[in-house]
Structure formats: structure tokens, C-alpha cells
Structure 1
Amino acid sequence: MKGDPTRRAFLTGSGAVGVATVAGCLGEATSEQGADDHDDRTDEDGEERGETYEIWALDQGTDTVYVYEPSGDGEFDAVETIDVNALEGVPEDGVVPHMIDFSSDYEYAAIACTAGARTLVFRTEDYELVGNIETGAGSHMAAFSPEDDCIHVDVIGEEKIVRVNADLEAEDFTVRDEIHLPENEVVTEAGIESAAPICHQYAQDGRSLHTLGPSYHDAGLVIVDHDEFTVDAAFSPEEVPTNCGTMPHPTEEKFYLTAGLPSNPEEDEEGVGDFFVFDTEADEVVHTADTGGVDAHGFWYTPDGEELWVLNRETNDGIVLDPETDEVIDEIEAFGPTQSDDPAESDAPDILWSSPDGEYMFATLRGPEPISGDPHAATGVTPGFSVLDVDSREIVTVVEPDPIEGYSAEEIEDEDTPTPDFHGIGVRPVGDYDTDIPTSPPF
């Protein structure tokens, strides 16, 4: 079994941090469909198809980015396939695409790579790689700032937060500054020994909240002043034991965090599935509750802002919160079609994102040979992404870009044979959707 955090060592290519800055095209996506087809959004009669959206699904098992769009009646068509290791400037040892975020206008996508020590930036109109930035070993999450003038990257392997200047007009990206958390006075005074940043988002006041981990036992929270790029506050695992997702409230000064820990039968250790509501004005936790399952992880809003969905990886289930009251208003029985009391025989959902029309919620599904996360929780059955109907909470379909049935048992067990394992996902609106809240944070 491949272990946490990635099948390739974090330190691959992790020498002195440099940067490859690009103006224009670094490499071309490899696909049967090219950019010309992407721009020609017409039906068979040549009529404009109007509003649509793209789903960018990251297969960190085979280092592939798949792009799909809806074709109607719960079906989805492949638009593009990007073999990231075939792109110019990518290290010979390759990279592992882990999480994705878009600029506020959705014209650029930033993909943090847990192997390869870098963050990749794509122009979404034609899928061209325009930024190849060495951000450090174990670059886990990269997200655009509210002004789109920089990208903050959580770098697990080097326990730092990296700030990348982003000049989108010139398509120029340069590492500007770094915060080494174990050396930061605010962090050490909080009693935090292990300070590897995992995920972050921006609160209403512009500060970014970064969870720590990757294990629940290494949890904690660090708050960064966005303007000064300094640590404003830090909280130990005893104070705020959060190690997973980050999500600001769309309008209020509060912030949602998750904490997850797989169960460990051998050590007779129960798993954890919790969420926290953090008041960013008072800088304190104001509400804590469980997520109804084990290993709480990703979550996302419906575009009307009335529901916040939360998933549990190990138990393949979740809850729906009311962001106004923070109460649980519904339960999700399953995000993946295969459910079992044995986590190794059950689907393992990971990251959520909603469609801009509010019809669907998308959830990535891990593979039988997980690249990241505790294998006991992250081991899945059906790698790809599931499509859930928001109203009924039921699975409409499961998209499998690279069906696991095409791999033999020997190939799945062979660590040298890449097999699909989906983690990050992002949804890019194409056209103007009328939504009550922006389709993705920061709000």
C-alpha cells in the first residue's frame, strides 16, 4: 500500500527554491480535443449552447487532469485531458496534481503538486500552462488571494506558507516571500511543535486561516495577515484541533473548519469527525459538533448560500449544515456508490464542489491504491467523481475517466504501476450565472 503523503518523496526536486516564470505557453495539453473545440460551444445545429461549466478533476494517481462539462440529463462529456508530466518544464521525476483553485474571473487555475515541489498555473480558456513555480516539497494547496494579485501555497514538506506574486495580465509568477512556521515567534509561543500547513481560505476581514497537520495529532490553526504577510495568531491542537478543510462564511465574520482522524482498530483508537465554527472577529471557536461519521474532510456551499455540505472520508457519508444557525439540517447517506462497514471495501470521498446552477454537488472518489491520506480511510473502490442531486441528496451518476476495471489485481498491488486516485476538484462557470453567493471562496 502506498503511504501518506504521496507515492513520491516530498523532497523530490526540493533544493533551493527557485521559480520558472512564463509569459505565454509552457506546454500544450495532450488530448483528442483541442482548444479550438473548447471555444466552439455550439450544438449539432450550430446554435450557441449558452451557459455551461467545466469540472476539473485531478487524478493524483496517474498525474492527469480531466476536464468535463454537462451534456444534459445527468450526463457529462470529456472536454480535455492534461498529462501534467508531459508538459514542458515539469521535472523528470514528475509531479502529483493535488488541489485546484481558480482566479476570481475563472480565467486561471492554480494546481498545487504534492510531488515535484511546485505549483502549476493554467490559462483555462485554452488549457495552456503559463506558470511553473517552485514552491517547495509537498505543495499541498494553492489559492488565489481575494484581489488575484498573489497565490498563497501551503507547503507541508517544508512547513511553510509561500506567497507568489501573480501578475495575471503579464502571466508572470514570482515567489515573493515565505513564512517558515516552526521558526515563527507567534507559532512557537502558541506551543505548536509540528507546524505543517494543510489548507487555507480567506475570511471576511481578508486574513487567511491555515489548518495544520497532516495528522489530527499535528493539528492546529495559524492566521495570516494578508496585507503584511505575517502570522497574526496561532492556536495549538489543544485549542483548535483542526487539520483539514477551511471555508469562510459568505457574509459573516465566522469560519468553518474540519478535523478528521481515521479509526485505528489495531490500536483500538476511534476515529474523529468534527467541525468547528470559528469567530474571526473574536478569534475563538464558538461552536463544535461532530459530522456524523469518521474522518471529516472536504465541504462546500450550494450557490444559494443556504447549505454547507460536509463529507467524511472513512464512512463515505456526511451532513448538511444551515450556515445561518450552524445546525445540521440533513444527512448524506453516501457520496460514493459502494458502502461498507469495512473502509477498505467502501468508497472514499474527499473534496466537494457544487455546480453554479445549484443542481449538483460533485465529490472526488479515491482509488484502491491511495496516494495521500491514511490508507485505512482513503482507500476507495471507484476512483473518479460522483454527481449528487442537491435536492434529493442522491447519487445521479459516477464519472470514471480511467475505470479501475481496466487494471488487474496485480497492477493495483504493484507500487510501480500508477492507478487512478482522484483528490482535487474544481468547477469553472462558463458564462454568467445568477447566484446568491460567489460560486467559490473567497467571498
Structure 2
Amino acid sequence: MRKVKTRRTFLAGTTAAGALALAGCTGGSDDDPSDSDDGATDQPSGDDADDGTGSSDGPERVAHEVWALDQGTDTIYLYEPTEEGYLDGSDPYDHAETIDLNDLLDDDGPIVPHMIDYSGDYAYAAIACTAGARTLIFRTEDHELVADLETGAGSHMAAFSPDDEYVHVDAIGEEAIVRVDVDLDAESFEIVDELAIHEDETVQDAGIEGGAPICHQYAPDGRSLHTLGPSYHDGALVIVDHESFSVERAYGHDEYPTNCGTMPHPTEEKFYLTAGLPSDPDSGEEGVGDLYIYDTAEDELRLGPKSTGGIDAHGFWFTPDGEELWVLNRETNDGIVWNPDWDQPQSEIEAFGPATGDEPAERDAPDIMWATPDGAYMLVTLRGPAPLSGDPHAATGVTPGFSILDTETKEIVTVVEPDPIDAYDDADIEAARNEEDGAPSIPDFHGIGVRPLEDVDAEIGTSPPY
């Protein structure tokens, strides 16, 4: 029996994190190139280069469950890999179940299930719902709703703490981080505290006047790093100490205009952050796609801004071997593969969705991604033609659903479209886009999560904080 590596494997403390860094990183050897002026190292070449092809033997199929969140129709679609056709891409997934949140909650909506996170053992899923001003907790084994929590307006991201003692919710409308006390043994979830960002002296001293908590993840020492936004112009960074549940450090827009993704390195004390700004067709202002790296040991900038190769940098994810960090740009439907050992781009991803027109409305808008536990695929959500969140110029897509990319070739295998957009006529789509009264709900996929259903033989686990 292979050992299951949960998402909390290395967060027993900084000593454990250091030990894993020694065991799992290729950096730091005598063969490493010296640091460059900007904190990055020279790109490896020759025999030292990683060509991104992975093991010659290829991955073995690992049973798992995909939770795809259609925030446009308040629906969760669950998929499982097929017995045949999964690894060769001919028929990767079977539809397993559909959860209609309007029916489940007896609520006409909109609820807008936005993002998903799992407990350390994947036994529970937390789904933040922006329009519903709530966070839903599901028992994953039987997909039963066990808690419906009023976590506040714009509940954008809910994530379990490393010890599963709390769920912390970034609530945009409240400009606050909401703390939910968790007792998994008793299956109890209770809102116990709220951290109002702009009432905090550390935030005020940093000169941060606007913005609200957007996304967060946990550093090896247990602190959480929260980007502020949603606008790039409100982008900033706050670091929360969970013993005191207060802001320990805050960095304003001039230092960290980070307004989206948060991702810890699997074994080292560094933390990746994205900053994205759509282009402005009226003013001609060019958008932004940047990546920053924060050193959580020294509490300082390690690297950045570094270009993500496109416009409106947004979601990113590690492959399960920890060797690649995929980063996507929402507006330009492209991205890069970042080498975390050398902290430089390793290769480019030409497209996350198949529609690649010259105008934003003619190309797919990717948003969030999650790797399969066997490392075979990266699953990437694609926004609909009537997006409910994000700048419409950048977030308006063509084919709502999720795209399946081969991690070896970096190419699209297929697109899963649970609710085909062809079933909706242009007038209905336009009415929804213009927010007309009585307009129908249009599919718009944003959050996605992958739950392993068997032991996982992965180098770093399958999701942060590893």
C-alpha cells in the first residue's frame, strides 16, 4: 500500500519543511548556477535542463473526482476518470453527479459558487459563494451538504487552515477575513471571528486604503498570505498571524500590486503571487501579467515583477512532481510553465482553451486550474460568454466548461462542456451579458477542485499547502 500524502504533509513546522526541502529540491547543490542580480538563477542547459517531458514510462491512472463549479447556473458537476480512454485522452471522464444548488438550498439565486478547497484528508469541501454571501461545506464521500454559513457579501475564497481547525474566508464585500471554527470529528462549523482589514493598524500604516481580501494560502510557518483587490489598482498583500488572528505584515500597491493567486512553494520558504490587469480598449492602456515571489523566511521580495507572457495573470498550479508551476493569463488565453528550482520561465503554453480569436470575445478565457493526482493532466476552467465575475473584457469566453491539457505536451486534449453553450441562443446570451430583467442563467465555469479517491504516489501531494 502506498502512503497517502495529504495537502498538509510539510506543514508540521519549519523544521519539517526544511527537511523536506533537503530531500525534495534540486536547488542548492554545488552544480547550481550563481544568483543573478534580480534574485533568479540562470536557466539550466544541456543535461541539466528539464525538457518538461516527464517520466518516459508515463503516469499511471489514479482514481479521482473532479468538482467543476458553474457559477453562472449555480451548479456543481462531478466527474470521474474512465476505466478506458483516460490516459490516451480518447475518453477521459465520465459524468458522475450534478448538484443543483438552487434546488438544494431552496434558493432562487444567484448563489455563484466561486472557488473550492478541501480539508487535509479531502473528506470535506468548502465552497465560497460570492452572490450568495455564504460558504457551503460538503461531506465529499456522499456529497451531502453539512453546513451553510453566512460568511458575508462577496465570499470569494474559503480555505481550510493547515491543521483543519479553521476555515478562513476572504469576503470582498465585507473587506474582511472571516474565521470559521471547525471540528471535523463532530462535523461542526461555526463562525467565530472576523478580521476587518482596513481597521487594522498594520494595514493603515502601510498606506493601504482600498481593496479587499481576494485569495489566500498558507506559508510553511502557518501564516496566511492574502492578496487584495479585486482591481489591480487596489492590489496589495497582507500576511495574517493565526495565533493572534491579526495582520502581521502589510505591503501596499507600490510594493505588491498582487490581486489574484496565492501559491506556496511545495518545500521551500517562498511564495508565488500573481498580479493581473485587463487591457483597456477605450484608453488603449495595456494590461498586466506579472508574477511575484515572496520570501516567507526573510519576509522580503525574492523576485518580481516577472512577466507571465500575456495579459491578466490569474490562476496557477503545481504539477504533482513539484517540477512545474503552470501560470495562465485570462485575457490572452495563454501562459507559461515556470521552473521553481531556477525561478525562470521554462516553456510557453500557447492556449488553455481551443478558441483563439484575435479579439478577447473571440477567444476562450481560462481562469482556475488544478492538476490530476497522477500528473497526467492539468484541468482548467473556461469562462462563458456572459461572465458573472472579472472584467468583462478579459473574462468573457467562448466555450464554458473545463479544458484538459496534457502535462507532457502542454496541449489541449479535449474540453468537457457539461452544459453546452449551443443550447442557448444569442439573444439569451446577450440579455444575460447586459443583466436584463428575466435573462436566463448562462454557464460560466470558475472554480475547480480534484479529490483523490485512492492512495497517491506524488512527490508533493496534490494541492496547497501540500
Quick check: TM above 0.5?
yes
Equivalence for 2:396: 379
Distance in 2 (alpha carbons) for counterparts of 1:245 and 1:102: 17
Equivalence for 1:29: none
Equivalence for 2:49: none
Distance in 2 (alpha carbons) for counterparts of 1:50 and 1:217: 43
Distance in 1 (alpha carbons) for counterparts of 2:184 and 2:202: 33
- Alignment check: 8 A CA contact 2:74 2:109 kept: no
Per-residue deviation, 1:227: 2.2
Equivalence for 1:185: 201
**Among 215, 220, 236, which residue is 1:220 paired with?**
236
Change (3 A) 1:203 1:216: same
Change (3 A) 1:50 1:331: closer
Equivalence for 1:145: 161
Q: Does 1:388 align with 2:405?
A: yes
**Among 172, 189, 201, which residue is 1:156 paired with?**
172
Equivalence for 2:15: none
Per-residue deviation, 1:92: 4.7
Equivalence for 1:422: 445
Give the AA of the match of 2:315. G
The two structures, once aligned, show a CA RMSD in angstroms of 1.2
**Among 87, 96, 111, which residue is 2:104 paired with?**
87
1:410 alignment partner, SS class: helix
Distance in 2 (alpha carbons) for counterparts of 1:179 and 1:298: 25
Q: Does 1:327 align with 2:376?
A: no
Per-residue deviation, 1:286: 1.4
Equivalence for 1:66: 77
Per-residue deviation, 1:64: 0.3
Per-residue deviation, 1:91: 4.5
Equivalence for 2:184: 168
| Match runs of 1:358-373 below 5 Å | 358-373=375-390
Change (3 A) 1:225 1:398: same
Q: Give TM-score scaled by structure 1 length.
A: 0.87
Per-residue deviation, 1:96: 1.0
Per-residue deviation, 1:94: 4.2
Equivalence for 1:280: 296
Give the AA of the match of 1:157. G
Distance in 1 (alpha carbons) for counterparts of 2:353 and 2:293: 27
Change (3 A) 1:220 1:206: same
Moved over 4 A (4+): none
2:354 alignment partner, SS class: coil
**Among 129, 132, 136, which residue is 1:116 paired with?**
132
Give deviations 1:210-245, integer Å, cap 9, x for gaps. 000000000000000022211100000001110010
The answer for unaligned runs of 5 or more in structure 1 is 1-48
Per-residue deviation, 1:122: 0.3
1:267 alignment partner, SS class: coil
Per-residue deviation, 1:379: 0.4
- Alignment check: 8 A CA contact 2:178 2:193 kept: yes
**Among 253, 275, 290, which residue is 1:259 paired with?**
275
Q: Does 1:406 align with 2:416?
A: no
Q: Does 1:440 align with 2:457?
A: no
- Alignment check: 8 A CA contact 1:315 1:341 kept: no
Distance in 1 (alpha carbons) for counterparts of 2:207 and 2:72: 36
Per-residue deviation, 1:195: 3.2
Equivalence for 1:431: 454
Equivalence for 1:269: 285
Aligned length in residues: 394
Q: Is the deviation greater in 415-424 or in 254-263? A: 415-424
Distance in 1 (alpha carbons) for counterparts of 2:397 and 2:256: 29
Give deviations 1:305-336, integer Å, cap 9, x for gaps. 00000000000000001111111001000000
Give deviations 1:340-362, integer Å, cap 9, x for gaps. 22111100000010000000000
**Among 298, 306, 310, which residue is 2:315 paired with?**
298
Distance in 2 (alpha carbons) for counterparts of 1:204 and 1:331: 29
- Alignment check: 8 A CA contact 2:399 2:421 kept: yes
2:378 alignment partner, SS class: strand
Distance in 2 (alpha carbons) for counterparts of 1:93 and 1:420: 14
| Match runs of 1:91-110 below 5 Å | 91-110=107-126
2:422 alignment partner, SS class: helix
1:237 alignment partner, SS class: coil
Distance in 2 (alpha carbons) for counterparts of 1:315 and 1:436: 31
Q: Does 1:314 align with 2:325?
A: no
Per-residue deviation, 1:283: 1.6
**Among 345, 357, 361, which residue is 2:374 paired with?**
357
1:68 alignment partner, SS class: strand
- Alignment check: 8 A CA contact 1:196 1:212 kept: yes
- Alignment check: 8 A CA contact 1:91 1:116 kept: no
- Alignment check: 8 A CA contact 2:364 2:397 kept: yes
Per-residue deviation, 1:413: 1.1
- Alignment check: 8 A CA contact 2:62 2:373 kept: no
- Alignment check: 8 A CA contact 1:303 1:437 kept: yes
- Alignment check: 8 A CA contact 2:211 2:230 kept: no
2:302 alignment partner, SS class: strand
Give the AA of the match of 2:336. I
2:282 alignment partner, SS class: helix
Give the AA of the match of 2:190. T
The answer for unaligned runs of 5 or more in structure 2 is 1-59, 433-438
Q: Give TM-score scaled by structure 2 length.
A: 0.83
- Alignment check: 8 A CA contact 1:308 1:321 kept: yes
Distance in 2 (alpha carbons) for counterparts of 1:80 and 1:109: 16
Per-residue deviation, 1:400: 0.1
